[in-house]
C-alpha cells in the first residue's frame, strides 16, 4: 500500500516504457485489442518504448519482421532481446563469447570482438546440447571466465505437446561442474532490465515495465528497481497472480491500453 | 576423542570389513604392499570382506577379472559397485529402471524387472549424454518416479590429461529440470554403505570401512553410521587429510595391513 500511496502523489516521471511482447502486445500471432492504440498514445506523449522479450531462438531481424507482419512498426533500437543483452554485456566487460546457443541466433554475436578473455554464453541450444559441446564449454570455463545465460527456463511446451528441456538444466550442469553461478541476462534478471535501458539515458526509476508474467516481467523489473511494474490481465495472467510474488505489481490493469493510460495519468500527477 | 575412548574399551565386534579398491588394495594396476596378507589375515579371522568401489564404466565381471589378473581372488559376492547398489535398491523398492548409464554397464541391469513403476538411473554415460537421451529421461521423470545416481562426481581426468564432465553435471541438469534431488547410490552416500551390507546380515555398527579418500570412503561411512572408519596413508591420501572432514577417521594407519591389524586388535579388546 505504501508503494501505491507514494505513486499517488508527486513522483518520478516515467520516460521509458518496457513492454513484453507475447501476451501483452500480441497473442497467437495476432495483435491484442488496444495494442496499436496504446503504443501510439505512449509515443505521442514522448515516451521511449523498448519491447523486451526472452526469445532465444529467433534473431532480432526475424522478430522485427514478425512484428511488422502483425502490423506493428518497431525500430531496431526499440527491440531488446537476451542475445543483445549478452552482446552489450560482453562489450561493456571487454570479453569475447564462446557460444553454446541455438544455431539460429549465432549470427547475433558476429560483431563481438574475438581477441578478449572468453565468457561462455549459454542459450536454448536444443540438440546442440551434446556431450562434446558441453564438455568444450566446461573446459573453456576452467580459465575462470564468466558464465552467461540468455535465460534459465527449466522446460518448454514442445511441438508434440509434451514438455522438453530448455536451457536452464544445461546451465545448471555447467554451474555444478565449474562451481560458479551463471549471470542470467534474460528476464527476470536485474542485469537485463539495466542493459535494456543502457542506450536510453533513462534511469531505472524513470522506467515502467508492462507484462503478463507477474514473476518474470513485473516482480523481476521491480526487484531490479524499475520504477513501476504493471501487470496486465491478458496472455498468461491468471486471477490472483498479483499475490504470488514480491515485490507486488505497482498496478494491475485489464490490458496494454489501460496500462498506457495508467502511465500517462501517473506522469500527469508527477508533474 | 570420545569416539576413540569408546573404542579403547569393550565395543561392538567388527564382523564385516568394507575395503576400497584403488589406492587401498591396488594402485596403477599393481597390488599395494601388504594387500594380500591383510586380506588373508582378515579372512582367517572369520571376517566377511566386501570390496566397494565407485567404478561406473566396468561391469562387475570385468572388475573381478581385473582383480584376478592382479593376483587377488575375490568372490562375486565380495564385490559391491554402484550398479549393484542400484539393482538392489530397485528390487527393494519395486521399481524398474530407465537407464542413462555408460553402454558398457547396461548389461548389469538385465535382471531387473521391467513391469514396475519406473525410476531413472543416471551413471557416467559419456557421449550418451545428448539432448535426446536427457530429454527422454526428463519426460520419464515427469511421472514422479525416483531419480537415482550411480555417483555425482563433477569431472574426471580424461585420456588427454584435461578434465572432462562426469555424471554429476548431467544429474544436476535433471534435478533442476524436475525440481527433485537425486538419490546418490555410490560412495559417500549412506544408502550405498547400507546396501553393501544388505546380504551380510551385519549391522552398520558391526562393519569397518578402510579407504584412502577421507571424504568419500571414511567420513561418508561414519556419517552412514558404519562402526569404524580407517584412513590409510596410501593412494590419494595427503598429509592432514584426516583433519578436513567430519566425522573424523576412527584411526589413521600406514596401509591396508596396518588397518587389518587395527581391526583385529579392536575385536580382541571388544571380546
Cβ within 8 Å, pair B165-A129: no
pLDDT at B181: 97
Q: Tens of pLDDT along A202-217?
A: 999 999 999 999 999 9
Contacts of A142 in chain B (CB under 8 A): 163
Backbone angles phi, psi at A120, to 5 degrees: -85, 130
How many A×B Cβ pairs under 8 Å? Answer: 82
More confident residue, A226 or B8: A226
- Could A165 and B177 be called an inter-chain contact, meaning their C-beta atoms sit closer than 8 Å? yes
CA A146 – CA A171 distance, rounded (Å): 12
C-alpha cell recorded at residue A109: 554475436
Question: Using CA atoms, how far apart are residues B76 and B51, in angstroms rounded to an integer?
Answer: 10
Average pLDDT over residues B110-127: 96
Q: Which residues of A touch B139 (CB under 8 A)?
A: 162-164
Among A240, A247, A195, residue whose Cα is nearest residue A217: A247
Picking from B130, B172, B175, the nearest residue to A130 by CB comes out as B130
Contact B80, B56 (CB under 8 A): no
Please give the residue that has the higher pLDDT: either B22 or A2: B22
Q: Which residue has the cell 538444466?
A: A169
Q: Please give the domain boundaries of chain A with CATH numbers for all domains.
A: 2-82+190-206+220-254 (3.40.50.1000), 94-184 (3.40.50.1000)
Taking any CB pair shorter than 8 Å as contact, residues of chain A touching chain B are 126-132, 134-135, 138-139, 142, 154-155, 162-165, 168-170, 172-177, 179
Left, alpha or beta for A163 (phi > 0: left; psi -120 to 50: alpha)? Answer: beta
pLDDT band at B271 (very low <50, low <70, confident <90, very high): confident
Choose among A6, A47, A60: nearest CA to A222.
A6
What was the pLDDT predicted at B56?
85
Strands B228-232 and B207-211: parallel
In the β-sheet with B207-211, what is the strand arrangement from edge to edge? B79-80, B48-52, B16-20, B207-211, B228-232, B251-253
Other CB atoms within a 10 A radius of the CB of residue A254 amount to 13
Peptide bond into A197 cis (omega under 30): no
Q: What is the pLDDT of residue B30?
A: 94
The structure's pTM equals 0.86
Give the burial class of A164: count Cβ atoms within 10 A of its Cβ; 0-12 exposed, 13-18 middle, 19 or more buried: middle
Answer whether A23's CB lies under 8 Å from A212's CB: yes
Question: CB–CB of B142 and A164 under 8 A?
Answer: no
What pLDDT score was predicted for residue B8?
A: 43
Of A181, A192, A235, A242, the residue nearest A215 (C-alpha): A242
In the predicted structure, residue B213 carries a pLDDT above the cut 50: yes
Cβ within 8 Å, pair B138-A162? no
**Cell 505521442, located at residue:** A44
- Identify the segments of chain A with pLDDT beneath 70: 1-10
Q: Across all residues in chain B, what is the average pLDDT?
A: 93
Q: Looking at residues B55-82, what average pLDDT do you find?
A: 94
Q: Which residues 6+ apart lie within 8 Å of B210 measured at CB?
A: B17, B18, B19, B20, B24, B217, B230, B232, B256, B259
Nearest Cα neighbor of B18 from B184, B222, B183, B185 is B222
Q: At what angle do helices B167-178 and A167-178 cross, to 10 degrees?
A: 140
**Contact call for B127 and A127, based on CB within 8 A:** no
Q: How many angstroms separate the CA of residue A29 from the nearest CA in chain B? A: 28
pLDDT the model gives residue A35: 97
Task: List B230's β-bridge partners, or say none.
Answer: B210, B251
Mean pLDDT for the stretch of residues B163-184: 96
- State the cell numbers at A17: 516504457
**Residues contacting B168, CB < 8 A, separation 6+:** A176, A177, B151, B152, B153, B154, B155
Using pLDDT thresholds of 50, 70 and 90, give the confidence band for residue B241: very high
Amino acid at each position: 500500500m505504501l508503494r501505491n500511496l507514494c505513486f499517488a502523489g508527486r513522483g518520478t516521471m516515467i520516460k521509458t516504457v518496457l513492454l513484453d511482447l507475447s501476451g501483452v502486445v500480441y497473442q497467437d500471432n495476432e495483435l491484442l485489442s488496444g495494442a496499436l492504440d496504446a503504443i501510439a498514445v505512449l509515443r505521442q506523449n514522448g515516451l521511449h518504448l523498448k519491447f523486451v522479450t526472452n526469445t532465444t531462438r529467433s534473431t532480432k531481424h526475424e522478430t522485427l519482421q514478425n512484428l511488422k507482419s502483425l502490423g506493428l512498426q518497431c525500430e531496431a533500437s526499440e527491440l531488446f532481446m537476451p542475445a543483445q543483452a549478452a552482446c552489450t554485456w560482453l562489450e561493456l566487460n571487454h570479453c569475447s563469447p564462446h557460444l553454446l546457443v541455438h544455431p539460429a541466433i549465432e549470427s547475433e554475436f558476429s560483431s563481438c570482438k574475438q581477441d578478449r578473455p572468453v565468457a561462455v554464453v549459454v542459450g536454448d541450444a536444443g540438440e546442440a546440447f551434446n556431450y562434446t559441446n558441453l564438455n568444450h564449454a566446461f573446459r573453456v570455463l576452467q580459465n575462470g571466465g564468466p558464465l552467461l545465460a540468455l535465460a534459465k527456463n527449466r522446460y518448454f511446451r514442445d511441438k508434440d505437446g509434451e514438455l522438453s528441456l530448455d536451457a536452464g538444466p544445461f546451465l545448471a550442469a555447467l554451474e555444478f561442474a565449474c562451481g560458479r553461478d551463471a549471470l542470467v541476462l534474460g528476464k527476470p534478471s536485474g542485469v537485463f532490465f539495466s542493459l535494456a535501458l543502457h542506450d536510453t539515458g533513462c534511469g531505472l526509476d524513470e522506467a515502467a515495465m508492462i507484462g503478463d508474467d507477474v514473476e518474470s516481467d513485473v516482480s523481476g523489473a521491480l526487484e531490479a528497481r524499475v520504477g513501476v511494474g504493471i501487470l496486465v490481465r491478458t496472455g498468461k495472467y491468471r486471477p490472483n497472480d498479483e499475490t504470488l510474488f514480491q515485490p507486488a505489481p505497482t498496478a494491475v490493469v485489464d490490458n496494454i491500453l489501460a496500462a498506457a493510460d495508467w502511465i500517462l495519468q501517473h506522469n500527469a500527477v508527477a508533474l
